[in-house]
């Protein structure tokens, strides 16, 4: 059982579009905090700007809704000032990897004790569907009307290379695995990163012939493959080269978190 109420029901209805993956992310988070026996009085959420960054506003816990891309900077200050708080950052791929990209890699490097959840819908959802640093090659967006020609970031690979203690990526269809990673992430000391590949039927879907939610979810299935059993042999190299995205738990280690190096 979760200690305390999860949703701030007086804020309903949520602003998210039908078919948005954030609903699933919130439900998995509710379940994960319950499984980890987290006291909602001892949690603080921090977010930037965007649809995903709006999510903590519906959670019955203290939260800081900050500026675009700066959630991790605020969260770092909050954690250092109140080390007993469980600090959870919620962000989107634009917020975290575009304007906030530098804060992201340095938070991983410092390995500060935070859980960051990134709802990666491959696009700037809130502002009209512009290209983001994770948009797959070929996708039509508001700012790539002829198809994206930029190589996307692999955010989980970036987090592992940056030095995070726990890194996992799942799609919203992998609810059990996603919930389990949230539990492991929230319990882990150091920087935990959980990336959730999520549908955005309104902004990405309608421009790429998958406005129906099921089509958008089927596309996510076709885009991803399990990293378990991954051997860097011909087949896997071919998959990666064609833009397919591995899912799974990518690293779990126990480096000293920021501020605890000398303890």
Ligand X SMILES: Cc1ncc(C[n+]2csc(CCOP(=O)(O)OP(=O)(O)O)c2C)c(N)n1
**Judged by CB, which is closer to ligand X: 49, or 73?**
49
Q: Which helix (H) or strand (E) holds 101?
A: helix 101-110
State the DSSP string of 183-224.
Answer: HHHHHSSS-EEEEEE---IIIIITTTT--SHHHHHHHHHHHE
**Judged by CB, which is closer to ligand X: 48, or 190?**
48
Which residue has 């995205």 as its token pair? 245
| Minimum gap (Å) between residue 111 Cβ and ligand X | 23
| Minimum gap (Å) between residue 241 Cβ and ligand X | 25
The whole-angstrom separation of Cα 148 and Cα 141 is 7
Using CB under 6 A, list all residues that contact ligand X: 49-52, 68, 92-95, 119, 121, 123-127, 132
Instruction: Give Cβ neighbours of residue 231 (< 8 Å, ≥ 6 apart).
Output: none
Number of neighbours of residue 7 by Cβ within 10 angstroms: 14
**Judged by CB, which is closer to ligand X: 133, or 163?**
133
Helices (H) and strands (E) in the chain, counts: 9, 10
**Judged by CB, which is closer to ligand X: 95, or 195?**
95
Give φ, ψ of 72 to 5 degrees: -70, -30
| Minimum gap (Å) between residue 204 Cβ and ligand X | 9
**Judged by CB, which is closer to ligand X: 32, or 97?**
97
| Minimum gap (Å) between residue 102 Cβ and ligand X | 14
The whole-angstrom separation of Cα 37 and Cα 51 is 27
Number of neighbours of residue 97 by Cβ within 10 angstroms: 22
Residue nearest to ligand X (CB): 92
| Minimum gap (Å) between residue 119 Cβ and ligand X | 6
**Judged by CB, which is closer to ligand X: 128, or 147?**
128
| Minimum gap (Å) between residue 99 Cβ and ligand X | 6
């Amino acid at each position: 059982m979760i200690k305390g109420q999860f949703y701030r029901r007086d804020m309903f209805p949520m602003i998210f579009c039908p078919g948005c993956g954030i609903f699933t992310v919130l439900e998995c988070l509710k379940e994960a905090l319950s499984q980890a026996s987290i006291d909602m009085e001892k949690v603080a959420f921090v977010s930037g700007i965007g649809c995903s960054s709006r999510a903590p506003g519906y959670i019955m816990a203290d939260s800081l809704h900050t500026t675009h891309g700066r959630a991790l900077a605020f969260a770092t200050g909050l954690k250092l000032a109140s080390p007993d708080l469980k600090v959870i950052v919620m962000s989107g791929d634009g917020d975290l990897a575009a304007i906030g990209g530098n804060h992201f890699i340095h938070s991983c490097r410092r390995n500060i004790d935070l859980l960051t959840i990134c709802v990666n819908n491959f696009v700037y959802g809130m502002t009209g569907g512009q290209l983001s640093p994770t948009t797959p090659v070929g996708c039509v967006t508001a700012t790539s009307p002829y198809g994206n020609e930029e190589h996307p970031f692999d955010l989980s690979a970036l987090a592992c290379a940056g030095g995070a203690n726990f890194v996992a990526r799942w799609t919203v269809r992998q609810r059990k695995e996603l919930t389990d990673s949230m539990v492991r992430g929230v319990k882990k000391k150091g920087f935990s990163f959980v990336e959730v590949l999520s549908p955005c039927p309104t902004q990405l879907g309608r421009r790429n012939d998958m406005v129906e939610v099921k089509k958008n979810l089927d596309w996510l299935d076709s885009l991803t493959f399990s990293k378990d059993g991954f051997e860097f042999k011909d087949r896997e190299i071919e998959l990666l080269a064609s833009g397919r995205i591995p899912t799974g738990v990518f690293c779990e280690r126990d480096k000293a978190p920021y501020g605890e190096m000398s303890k």
